[in-house]
Amino acid sequence: MNAPTPSAIKPDLLEALRALLGNRVSTSESDRAQHGRDESRHPVHLPDAVCRALSTDEVSAIVTLCATHDTPLVAYGAGSSLEGALIPVKGGVSLDLTGMNQILAVRPEDLDATVQAGVTRKQLNAHLRDTGLFFPIDPGADATIGGMAATRASGTNAVRYGTMRENVVSLTVVLADGRIIRTRSRAKKSSAGYDLTGLFVGQEGTLGIITEVTVRLYGIPEVMAAAICPFPTVEAAVTTVIQTIQMGIPISRVELMDDRAIEAVNAYSKLTLPVTPTLFFEFAGSQSAVEEQAGIVEEIARGEGATGWTWSTDADERAKLWQARHDIHWALRALRPGARGWGTDVCVPISALAEVIRAVREETSQQSFSTSLVGHVGDGNFHLGMQIDPDDPDEWARANAINDRMVKHAIALGGTCTGEHGVGIGKRKFMREEHGEAIEVMRLIKDALDPKGILNPGKVLPD
Amino acid sequence: MNAPTPSAIKPDLLEALRALLGNRVSTSESDRAQHGRDESRHPVHLPDAVCRALSTDEVSAIVTLCATHDTPLVAYGAGSSLEGALIPVKGGVSLDLTGMNQILAVRPEDLDATVQAGVTRKQLNAHLRDTGLFFPIDPGADATIGGMAATRASGTNAVRYGTMRENVVSLTVVLADGRIIRTRSRAKKSSAGYDLTGLFVGQEGTLGIITEVTVRLYGIPEVMAAAICPFPTVEAAVTTVIQTIQMGIPISRVELMDDRAIEAVNAYSKLTLPVTPTLFFEFAGSQSAVEEQAGIVEEIARGEGATGWTWSTDADERAKLWQARHDIHWALRALRPGARGWGTDVCVPISALAEVIRAVREETSQQSFSTSLVGHVGDGNFHLGMQIDPDDPDEWARANAINDRMVKHAIALGGTCTGEHGVGIGKRKFMREEHGEAIEVMRLIKDALDPKGILNPGKVLPD
C-alpha cells in the first residue's frame, strides 16, 4: 500500500470550504485515511481534505469552489466500492455524503420513494417496514443508495427486479460547475428527451454528483420459499437456469456456488452440504403460485440430473437453506487468514456462462491461492473470489493474469468486463476492448459535462 | 398544410449519393411527398431527396456525405410518428431504412434477437412464431423497431414488460460524422461505463442514426385471460388499478376507456357496452396463476364499486371482450368524418392520474369537436383524442389550448409531456418547463455529438 500523500489542498480553497462548512471540513490524518481506501485491492490514496455535506445546495457550493480552484473531487458513501471507484487517485476533496441520510418522501400509491444520496439500502427498508413495501436492490454491502446509483449496482434480486438502471426513477445531480439538475419527472414512463437518468446511473461520479435519488418500490410478496439443489456439473446447473427463465418462471433469486465455495462454507459454517455445484433458489408470490413455481423448477432440475431438492416456505428453514450463500463472504476470508480478497465480476449472455465458468475453473484449479465462484447466474453474472498473499508479488501477478483472461474471454463471448462492481480503477484497461469506438462517445460526453476534468479523475475511461 | 418546398439539394451531394446508391436515391415528387408527412397534425415538409439504405455501412457513407455538405438528414421507418419526429422541417435527406429489414439473429437461450432497424414489430413476431418466444412492445402502429427505439415507444404491454428503454439490449448507431458504434455488449446487465444504449433510445435521430437493434424476448405465456369491468367513475377505475399494482399482481395489460370512448365504439362496432368508464384487463401465466390473479382483481374492483366483471380464457371470447379497445382508433375517426385526428399523450405518477383525467374531461365536455380518453392506466399514461375540423382555425386554437393546459397540469403534478409518443415538433415547447436546467445538459450532449446540427434539426430540444 502506498504511503499517505501529504495534504496539498490550496490554502484559499481550504479557507473558503471552512467558511462554508465549519468543522465539517477535515484535513486530519485519520479522516483522510478513512476516505482513501475502499474494499478493493487497489492502493490507498489519501484525499487532501474531507468535506461533509448536508444538502444539495452545500454540494453545489463545494463543487463550485473546487471548480474555481481546479481541484478534483470524488463522492464518498459507505466506502464499499470493489474496484477503487472512490479512491482519490489525484488527491483533492473527498465529498462525504453520509450525513445526507434523510428519507425525503415515501409514496405508496406511486410505489416510489425519494431519499438523499447517503441513505443506505437497509435504512430505507427499515423505514418501509410498516408499509408492506420494499426496495429490492441488494449488493452485498449496506451501500448508500447514491453510491449504488453511481455504480449501477445490483445483486441477488436483479433476476426478478432488475438493477439500479431499471429502479432509479429520477436523480438530483450537481454538475461540474455547481449547477443543480433533476434528471427526470416521476412519471413511470416518458418519451420526453434524452435519458439523463440513465446517463448518470453508472457514471461513478465522473459526470456529476448524485445528491438525491427517487427509486421504485415493490409490494412485499405474500409467501416466500427457498430451495437448494445440488448438481453433478456446473453445466447442468446453468442449463436448469436457462430453461427456468425461458419458461418465464418469475424466480426471485437464483444463485450458483461451485464445489470449492461449498467446501469453504461447509468448513466455516459447519454444514454438511454435498461438495458439488449447487443452486440456491428463492420463489415469491401467493402460496399456490410459489408451490407451482417450485414444482416446475424441481422438475426441470431433476431432468438435468439434480441429485436433490430441499425446499421450505418457513422463515427459519429458509434462512437455514440459504445460510451457505449468506456466509460465503466470511467463509472465503477464513480459507486463508491474513490474505487479501480480490473479488472480480464479469457478466455474459447466459448461453456463454457455462463455457466462461469452465475456463476459469480450469485456470484456477492449480493455484497456490484459494479461489471460488459465486454467481447471480440468472443474469449470466458471476464473481471470482481469490485470496491472495499480500506480500507475494508472484501471486498478485498470477491473479492479475487470471482476471485478464477471464475478462477478455467474457468480452469475446459477447459479455462485459463488469456486471455490477463498476469500472473504477481496475476495469479501465478493458474498456476499449469492450466498447471500441463507443469509448470516444463516452469521452465526448465526459469532456462536455466536465471540461476541467475535476470529477473523479482517473476513473471509468481509459487514458 | 404547407406547399411542397422545392428540391434544394446541392448538385455535388446528389451526384455523390447517386454514385453510392444508384436508383435508391430519389428526388421525385411522390417519394418526397411520402417522406414529408407522418400520422400527426403537423404540417408537411418535403425532404430534398430520399435515400434508401440497405446496410449500416451505406448509412455511414450517406451520413458522411451529408456531413461534408452540411446537409440535414432524418431517418424514416414506418412513417407512424404522432408528433412530427420524421418530418424534415429543414429539408435535406430523408434516410429511408425500410429496406434494412433483415432479422440478423434470434438467440432463444439468451432471450434476445438482433434486427436491422427497418424490421417491424409484427414482422419480428411472425418470424418468432415457432420459437415459443415473442417481442412484447406494441405501439398502435406496426412501427419499425428502429423507429420504436428512437422514440422510446411502448404500448399496452408496458405495464408488465416495460418500454423500449427496458427492452433494448444494445444498438448499432451511426454518429453524425459517419463513425459506427455499438452501444453495449449483449450481457443482461453491466456496470461498464456510461449507458449509451439508454442515451440513444429516445433521442429521435438527433444524436445518431440507429441501424441495428438487439431486443429482449420473452416466453409466450401458457394461458391468457381477458376481462372487462365497468365502473361508476374514472376515480374508482384508477383506484382499482393502483391497488392491483400495489399488490404485485403481474397483470399483462390494463387499459381504461372513458364513457365517451365507449359510446364511440358502441356506435362504430355495434356493441352494447354500458356507457361508463371501463377497464380492460389481460392476465397471463399458468391456468391456476391466471385464475388466481383474475379472482383477486375482481375482488378489488367490486370493492371499488365495479358494476360487472366478464372474463374468459378462450381466444375468441378474449378477442370479443377486447374488441372495443381494438376498434377505438377507427371508432374515433368515424365520430366525425373528414376531421383530422389529434392524439396527444401525457404520463403522470399514478396517484395524480384521476385528477388530471378529471380536469381534461371537464375542459373537453363542452367542445364542438369530439374527444375521448384511452389510457395505459397502469403506467399513469393516457391519450386524449380530438377530432378537429381541419378548416376551422378556432377549433385548432381551442384544441391547442386544451393540450397546453393538460400538459402543464401533468408536469405540475410530477409527470411528463409525453409518455410514449415522443417530443418531435409538438412537445418541444414544454421541454424547458418539464426539465428546467437539465435541458442545458441535453444541449451539451447534442452539441458534442452533432456539432454541425445535421441530425434531425428542429426536433426534441427547444430553440
pLDDT in tens, B367-391: 989 898 999 999 999 999 999 999 9
- In sequence order, the 6+-apart residues with CB closer than 8 A to the CB of A401 are none
Is the sign of the CA dihedral B239, A197, B150, B423 positive or negative? positive
Residues of B in contact with A461 (CB under 8 A): 193
Instruction: With a cut of 60, say whether residue B5 has pLDDT above it.
Output: no
pLDDT at B335: 87
Who among A203, A247, A417 is closest to B194 (CB)?
Answer: A203
Distance of CA B316 to the CA centre of its chain: 27
- pLDDT for A1 beyond 50: no
Question: Taking CB atoms and an 8 Å limit, are B192 and A441 in contact across chains?
Answer: no
Nearest-CB residue to A417 (from B108, B192, B410): B192
Exposed, middle or buried: residue A318 (CB in 10 Å: 0-12, 13-18, 19+)? middle
The DSSP line for B399-417 is: HHHHHHHHHHHHHHTT-BS
Q: Which of B162, B187, B411 sits opposite A380 (nearest CB)?
A: B187
Average pLDDT, chain B: 95
Domains B223-328 and B336-412 share a fold: yes
Q: In the prediction, which pLDDT does A118 show?
A: 98
pLDDT for the residue A185: 98
A387-413 pLDDT, tens digit each: 999 999 999 999 999 999 999 999 999
The total of other beta-carbon atoms located within 10 Å of residue B233's CB is 15
State how far Cα A29 lies from the chain centre.
28
- Residues of B with CB below 8 A from A209's CB? none
Where residue A7 falls among pLDDT bands split at 50, 70, 90? Answer: low
Rounded to the nearest angstrom, the minimum Cα separation between A242 and chain B is 6
A178: left (phi over 0), alpha (psi -120 to 50) or beta: left
Chain A residues inside the 8 Å CB shell of B447: 448
- Residue B248's pLDDT band, with cuts at 50, 70 and 90, is confident
User: What is the CATH class of B336-412?
Assistant: alpha beta
- Residue among B417, B246, B267 at smallest CA distance from B330: B267
Whether the per-residue pLDDT at B7 is higher than 70: the answer is: no
Query: What strands lie across the sheet with A103-107, from one edge to the other?
Result: A103-107, A112-116, A209-216, A168-174, A180-182
Cβ <8 Å between B416 and A179:
no
Is the pLDDT assigned to residue B259 strictly greater than 50?
Answer: yes
Cβ of B195 and A195 within 8 Å? yes
B417: nearest CA in chain A? Answer: A192
Question: CB–CB of B78/B98 below 8 Å?
Answer: yes
ipTM of the complex, rounded to two decimals: 0.96
Nearest-5° Cα angle at A244, A227 to B225: 110
In whole numbers, what is the pLDDT of chain A averaged over residues?
95
Q: What is the average per-residue pLDDT within B116-125?
A: 98
Beta bridge partners of A341: A387
Position B137 confidence tier, pLDDT thresholds 50, 70, 90: very high
Closest CA to A72 of A57, A88, A56, A84: A88
| Angle of helix B259-269 versus helix B323-335 axis, rounded to 10 | 90
pLDDT at A246 over 90: no
pLDDT at B4: 44
Q: Do A248 and B414 touch (CB under 8 A)?
A: no
Is there a contact between B191 and A348 if contact means CB atoms under 8 Å apart?
no
The verdict on a CB contact (< 8 Å) between A245 and B422 is no
What's the mean pLDDT in A212-240?
95
- Class of residue B295 by CB neighbours under 10 A (exposed 0-12, middle 13-18, buried 19+): exposed
Q: How far is CA A435 from CA A387, A449, B184, B340, in A?
A: 30, 20, 7, 46
What fold is seen in the domain B11-96? Answer: 3.30.43
> What's the whole-model pTM score?
0.96
Class of domain B103-219: alpha beta
Q: Where are the domains of chain A?
A: 223-328, 336-412
Structural domain A223-328, CATH architecture: 2-Layer Sandwich (3.30)
Per residue in B52-91, pLDDT tens?
999 999 999 999 999 999 999 999 999 999 999 999 999 9
Q: What is the residue type of A139?
A: P
Comparing CA positions, the residue from A454, A463, A394 lying closest to residue A428 is A463
Among B158, B195, B442, select the one facing A193 at the smallest CB separation: B442
Facing B379 at nearest CB: one of A112, A189, A435: A189
Interface mutation vs chain A, best among B190, B406, B409, most A CBs within 10 Å? B190
Q: Inspect the interface and report whether the beta carbons of A191 and B242 lie closer than 8 Å.
A: no
Please judge whether B191 and A242 are an interchain contact, meaning their C-beta atoms are less than 8 angstroms apart. no
Which cell numbers hold the place of A251?
424466480
Q: How far apart are CA B72 and CA A251, in angstroms?
A: 48
Q: What is the DSSP letter of A120?
A: B
Nearest Cα residue in chain A from B167: A166
pLDDT of B211 > 70? The answer is: yes
pLDDT > 90 fraction of chain A, expressed in percent and rounded: 93
pLDDT in tens, B84-114: 999 999 999 999 999 999 999 999 999 999 9
pLDDT score for A329 = 86
B-chain CB neighbours of A444 within 8 Å are 448-449
Q: Can you tell me the mean pLDDT for A61-74?
A: 98
What percent of chain B shows pLDDT beyond 90? 93
Average pLDDT over residues B424-447: 98
Q: Per the CB < 8 Å rule, is A195 touching B181?
A: no
Q: Does A292 contact B292 at a Cβ distance shorter than 8 Å?
A: no
